Amino acid sequence: METTVDVAPGIRLWAQDLPAATDAPEPDPVLLVMGANASGLLWPDELVARLAERHRVIRYDHRDTGRSTWAFDEHPYAIAELARDAVAVLDAFDVPRAHVVGMSLGGVLGQLLLLDAPERVATATLFCTAALGGYGSPDLPAPSPALLALWEQMADPRDLEAELDWRVAHWRLLNGTGTPFDADWFRALERRAIEHAGRHDTTAAHARASQDGLERGAELAAVEVPTLVVEAPEDPVNPPPHSGHLARSLGRGRLVRIPGMGHAVNRTVVAPLAAAVLTQTSGAHSRG
């Protein structure tokens, strides 16, 4: 089921609710929270299908992505407001709490949910992300220079095929060299996201949004919600020191490593990532 969710005056989000493919009593749903400037359609269907074997799955488009409202220049916002949007999506589907799975910026938003709305989070799985306030330490590296240079071009005007070329080049850097890179697969993924949005440009709104309210790393120690941090050893955005730092910062954090994974959910890592999420949502990791 698809719907729209009003989160602020003049701001509406697209959201999709996918039923579990099981007749067993339904556990808490899974809420997928995507990264910056990225539509919810960039969650690969292969991953969604694996999670839907046991869970109802909800995914959505952030503001200024996909079919949600694109209006940052008229209605600027802080990154922290995107976490409140996630709660509004749960409210729209009458979901009292969910297993939150956040990638990259979605992992930052997941941390804000753990701090500000812990009663809405059954468990959390965070990956390809950094702890709140984590870039303040010299021991925690910044994204690779090659990525920073490419990001400078993110909002440049391009025709459709040139935009697809840019996005595939971006995924190539994000993927790293630890797993095979399938350019055709990523091109098809992005073409589908563009068709979903009805436009191929990007305003890079999340890169321009205020980061006020994100310096809250010290509060993570009080988090009581079980949280899994997935370490992606080839991640060029948030290299491995970030994942370990986040897991140690959390009151109930634990760390697992997916060999070869970069800052991308490609076909190679779908199975181990889904297995890690489902182990977390089932609580199996806490049983002897």
Give pLDDT tens digits for 194-219.
Answer: 999 999 999 999 999 999 999 999 99
pLDDT band at 27 (very low <50, low <70, confident <90, very high): confident
Burial class from Cβ neighbours inside 10 Å (0-12, 13-18, 19+) for residue 145 reads: exposed
Measured CA to CA, the distance from residue 67 to residue 187 in angstroms comes to 19
Q: Does residue 26 carry a pLDDT above 70?
A: no
pLDDT band at 175 (very low <50, low <70, confident <90, very high): very high
Enumerate residues 6+ apart whose C-beta is below 8 A from 41.
59, 61, 66, 192, 193, 196
CATH value at residue 72:
3.40.50.1820
Domain range holding 248? Answer: 2-286
Measured CA to CA, the distance from residue 198 to residue 178 in angstroms comes to 33
pLDDT in tens, 78-89: 999 999 999 999
Pairing of strands 2-8, 30-33: unpaired
The percentage of residues in the chain with a pLDDT greater than 70, rounded to a whole number, is 96
Q: Indicate if 196 belongs to the active site.
A: no
pLDDT in tens, 123-155: 999 999 999 987 667 789 999 999 999 999 999
* Total domain count, the chain: 1
pLDDT in tens, 38-54: 999 999 999 999 999 99
Q: Which residues pair with 5 in a beta bridge?
A: 13
Q: Does residue 286 carry a pLDDT above 70?
A: no
User: Which one from 61, 62, 64, 104 is the annotated catalytic residue?
Assistant: 104
What pLDDT is attached to residue 34?
98
User: Which one from 62, 99, 200, 263 is the annotated catalytic residue?
Assistant: 263
Predicted TM-score of the model (pTM): 0.96
**Are 14 and 68 a contacting pair, CB within 8 Å?**
yes
Q: Indicate if 94 belongs to the active site.
A: no
Q: Indicate if 144 belongs to the active site.
A: no
